Amino acid sequence: MKRTFRYRFYPSEVQAEQLSRTFGCVRKVYNLGLQARTEAWRLRHERIGYVDTSALLTTWKQDEDLAFLNEVSCVPLQQALRHLQSAFTNFFGKRAKYPRFKSRKRSRACAEYTRSAFRFRNGQVTLAKMAEPLEIVWSRPLPPGVVPSTVTVSRDAAGRWFVSLLCEDPSVTALPAVDSVVGIDAGLEHLPIFSTGEKISNPQHERRDRERLVRAQRALSRKQKGSDNQARARLRVARTYARIADRRRDHLHKVTTRLVRENQTLVIEDLAVRNMMTNHNLARAIGDASWSQFRSMLEYKARWYGRTVIAVDRWLPSSKLCSACGALAASLPLQRRTWVCGCGVAHDRDVNAARNILAAGLAVTVCGAGVRPQRNTPGGQSVTKQKA
């Protein structure tokens, strides 16, 4: 199982300058490749690929105006063209939009080195065209005897430097099978609500740091554009955002790891988060909860450790459906957190939803049923429409 290990490192002034130059060259080559492929199609209806742009890279290096491309390692430049090829593959496969040009201000500053462009020896990483190894903070050890196949160096908006090592990790194996299954409902006050009745509070990291963020953004808005003061103020804003994102990611890792270790099957709801973000009253809270990241972590960890994640239909009326008798409530406003069914059972809105999600997920595993909203029969009883 290939796995990426990410560490912070602290470059020297010479290394920082060299890496910054490499980031700029990578961005330039990517943009040149995108421009060449776009013009080839628009002018000549010719589709060119990675091999053609790789040949063009040699020509670009011979141009006097692009002679600076020779000052950095050629491997990150070739990798940029491979990434461009992947972007076009996803576009033609209708999995992404047409590739866009990279911007110095908005694009991620990174460079990827394959095995021929770095040396890994005695726990130290030395990149091509660098005399000294990177000063990496080894917050956790690599698997014993493992040699990275790819090294990616990046710098975030807060000015922090990271190195990511792609390794084949033999320690990632399936966990022993267990009998427990759980339904999970995503909320705002409580991030995951389980069918067992347990709730885990949402730390709301952005809300807790909102005052600090507001002060930093107001200070940034008062600075003169292009000044050093504006650059320092922008860095303070970026560091505040980084603090929020790091704490949120850490919390999600802890919750998802626990869920995968304790349960064999995890049932979640297929939420349309992008559509829900159009609700301007809830968009900030939904973004702070990071439901998409929660699901992504849950799915890849389940693949690692031999667990199963089932996503039920987003149109399942999980909150309004009685988990005891199956009756469907006529209406249930968002502000009502508890309700009583006609059968006399009192429900917590979120726990009831998690139980219905679990039942729907188990139905999918047993008979391949597709969950659909309920309808009432002429006799007054509710039934579930299912797709065979």
Cβ within 8 Å of residue 311, ≥6 positions away: 267, 268, 269, 270, 295
Picking from 52-66, 155-169, 293-307, 365-379, which range would have the lowest pLDDT averaged per residue? 365-379
- 326 Ramachandran zone, left/alpha/beta (phi>0; psi -120 to 50): left
Q: Which of the residues 185, 270, 299, 313 is marked catalytic?
A: 185
Which CATH code fits 173-201+245-388? 3.30.420
Say if residue 23's pLDDT is above 70. Answer: yes
Q: How confident is the model at residue 76 (pLDDT cuts 50, 70, 90)?
A: very high
Q: Which of 112, 206, 269, 288 is catalytic?
A: 269
Q: What is the pLDDT of residue 361?
A: 86
Mean per-residue pLDDT over the chain, rounded: 89
pLDDT at residue 227, as a whole number: 94
User: Has residue 155 got a pLDDT over 60?
Assistant: yes
Domain boundaries, the chain: 2-168, 173-201+245-388
| DSSP assignment of 75-105 | HHHHHHHHHHHHHHHHHHTTSS-------TT
Q: Give the residue carrying structure tokens 């040396």.
A: 119
83-113 residue pLDDT tens: 999 999 999 999 999 999 999 988 999 999 9
Q: Considering Cα of 225, then 229, then 235, then 237, what sign does the dihedral take?
A: negative
| Rounded mean pLDDT, 53-68 | 94
pLDDT-derived band at 368 (thresholds 50, 70, 90) equals low
pLDDT tens digits, one per residue of 239-248: 999 999 999 9
269 is catalytic: yes
Residue 348 falls in the annotated catalytic set: no
Catalytic residue among 112, 206, 288, 350: 350
Give the list of residues 6+ apart from residue 266 with CB closer than 8 angstroms, or none.
181, 182, 184, 259, 260, 298, 302, 307, 308, 309, 310
Determine whether 262 is an active site residue: no
Closest CA to 224 of 214, 215, 234: 234
Q: Could you give the percent of the chain with pLDDT greater than 90?
A: 66
pLDDT band at 367 (very low <50, low <70, confident <90, very high): low
% of the chain surpassing 70 pLDDT: 94
Report pLDDT for 161.
97
Which of the two residues, 338 and 21, has the higher pLDDT score?
A: 21
Please state, in angstroms and rounded to a whole number, the distance separating the CA atoms of residues 213 and 206: 9
